[in-house]
């Protein structure tokens, strides 16, 4: 039997790979602490249950494919309030989880050929793994660009050879970055927009952590694109209620871009996608319209990062990231550190190499671990103290 080659060399996904590393070892503490997956464990907004209950009959109907008019209007209004950008509902599509969008949009918008050659899709390294799968599915060549301390933990796409940039069809960028928490500045976005214009490629901005920040709201790509007068068809922004509203199980997000690009994305969804159930769309409408729960959520993360700063005070290489809810901690070897931490302290973290790819014999995540600060404050504090004493004591 023949199987496709394009996925044959993929490593195991990060979490099955982690289970193979750790699960045959007993934890080194009677009360293990899980700090691996970015699954918020803060309270859900109090309107979720009543809204679902009031709309249960919606599970008996096929939902609107692109999003209810009310949901698209709520997202449009949020974009206007948050970024000052006027993005009409016909430039938005509701997503069944942002991962679906980051994957399917690559298929919908990546051309088969760029300048008579196989197209390139750029992505930071380390990165959210769906970017690479989208590129491979679209028949493009994924190019992994280091996002290290030397580059401010953001990829320096402008440093790539002109021949690569001329073949580039799409550039993925995550801000605040997963896993490092680095935030793209106004200047970074402006430079990337100019580079995309010069070499004629699309920008896919994964901004799912944009509402979890330390000192100031991250600048968004739609905001800078408006200021620069960029072609709306060149920029696509993705966001979600998973992190913003502590609703990862709702699987609700959106993509916003140009009218023609969104038309093509909607057309693909009509054939091959799975729209959000109507009751979930009703909850989503309320979530995008409400900021009080977002402010309360952010305050909880502020407190946990304050604790982290105290626990790791004086540790060389430690910085409180500007955004997101991960720590990207330097260690000798990420796999060795994760195994030691589990066996000796009962703390479960993710080796950084599981989020990266080897390029020219180098893996930019190899010497790091990713630590998710998603548990309640007291549990997070216990885990961080055990981690510090085990790896840095």
pLDDT tens-digit map of 150-172: 999 999 999 999 999 999 999 99
The confidence score (pLDDT) of residue 317 equals 81
Asked if the domains at 14-38+293-392 and 48-290 fall in one CATH topology, the answer is: no
Peptide bond into 176 cis (omega under 30): yes
Structural tokens at position 331: 């260690």
DSSP E strand stretches across 112-185? 120-125, 141-146, 168-174
Whole-angstrom Cα distance, residue 322 to residue 381?
Answer: 20
pTM: 0.96
What mean pLDDT do residues 204-213 have? Answer: 98
pLDDT at 148 over 90: yes
> What is the reported pLDDT for 393?
80
Q: For the domain bounded by 14-38+293-392, which CATH number is listed?
A: 3.90.1150.10
CA angle 353, 322, 381 (to 5 degrees): 75
The DSSP element (H or E) to which 235 belongs, if any, is strand 235-240
Q: What is the mean pLDDT of residues 354-380?
A: 96
Tokens describing residue 346? 């009962």
Question: Alpha-carbon distance 349 to 339, whole Å?
Answer: 9
Rounded average pLDDT over 178-198: 98
Whole-number pLDDT of residue 273: 80
Mean pLDDT of the chain: 96
Q: What is the mean pLDDT of residues 288-310?
A: 97
- HEC-encoded secondary structure of 176-219: CCCCCCCCCCHHHHHHHHHHHHHHCCEEEEECCCCCCECCCCCC
Parse the chain into domains and list their residue ranges. 14-38+293-392, 48-290
pLDDT band at 316 (very low <50, low <70, confident <90, very high): confident
pLDDT band at residue 9, thresholds of 50, 70 and 90? Answer: confident
Q: Is the pLDDT of residue 8 over 90?
A: no
Which overall architecture, per CATH, does domain 48-290 show?
A: 3-Layer(aba) Sandwich (3.40)
Give the tens place of pLDDT for each residue, 55-114. 999 999 999 999 999 999 999 999 999 999 999 999 999 999 999 999 999 999 999 999
């Amino acid at each position: 039997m023949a199987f496709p080659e394009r996925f044959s060399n993929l490593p195991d996904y990060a979490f099955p790979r982690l289970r193979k590393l750790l699960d045959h070892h007993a934890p080194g503490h009677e009360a293990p602490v899980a700090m691996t997956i970015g699954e918020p464990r803060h309270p859900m907004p109090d309107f979720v249950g009543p809204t679902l209950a009031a709309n249960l009959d919606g599970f008996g109907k096929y939902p609107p494919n692109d999003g209810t008019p009310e949901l698209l209007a709520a997202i449009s209004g949020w974009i206007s309030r948050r970024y000052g950008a006027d993005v009409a509902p016909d430039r938005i599509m509701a997503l069944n989880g942002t991962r679906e969008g980051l994957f399917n949009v690559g298929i919908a918008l990546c051309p088969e050929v760029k300048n008579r050659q196989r197209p390139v899709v750029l992505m930071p390294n380390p990165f959210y793994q769906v970017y690479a799968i989208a590129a491979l599915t679209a028949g493009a060549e994924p190019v992994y660009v280091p996002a290290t301390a030397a580059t401010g933990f953001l990829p320096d796409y402008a440093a790539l050879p002109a021949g690569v940039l001329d073949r580039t069809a799409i550039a993925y960028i995550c801000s605040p970055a997963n896993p490092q928490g680095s935030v793209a500045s106004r200047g970074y976005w402006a430079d990337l927009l100019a580079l995309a214009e010069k070499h004629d490629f699309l920008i896919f901005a994964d901004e799912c952590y944009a509402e979890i920040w330390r000192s100031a709201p991250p600048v968004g790509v739609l905001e800078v694109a408006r200021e620069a007068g960029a072609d709306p068809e060149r920029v696509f922004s993705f966001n979600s209620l998973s992190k913003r509203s502590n609703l990862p199980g709702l699987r609700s997000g959106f993509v916003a871009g140009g009218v023609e690009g969104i038309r093509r994305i909607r057309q693909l969804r009509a054939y091959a996608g799975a729209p959000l159930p109507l009751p979930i769309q009703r909850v989503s409408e309320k979530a995008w319209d409400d900021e009080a729960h977002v402010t309360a959520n952010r305050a909880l993360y502020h407190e946990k990062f304050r604790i982290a700063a105290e626990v790791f005070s004086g540790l060389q290489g430690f910085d409180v990231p500007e955004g997101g809810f991960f720590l990207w901690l330097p260690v000798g070897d990420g796999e060795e550190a994760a195994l030691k931490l589990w066996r000796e302290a009962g703390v479960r973290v993710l080796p950084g190499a599981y989020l990266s790819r080897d390029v020219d014999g180098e893996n930019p995540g190899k010497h790091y671990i990713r630590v998710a600060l998603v548990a309640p404050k007291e549990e997070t504090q216990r885990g961080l103290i055990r981690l510090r004493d085990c790896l840095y004591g």
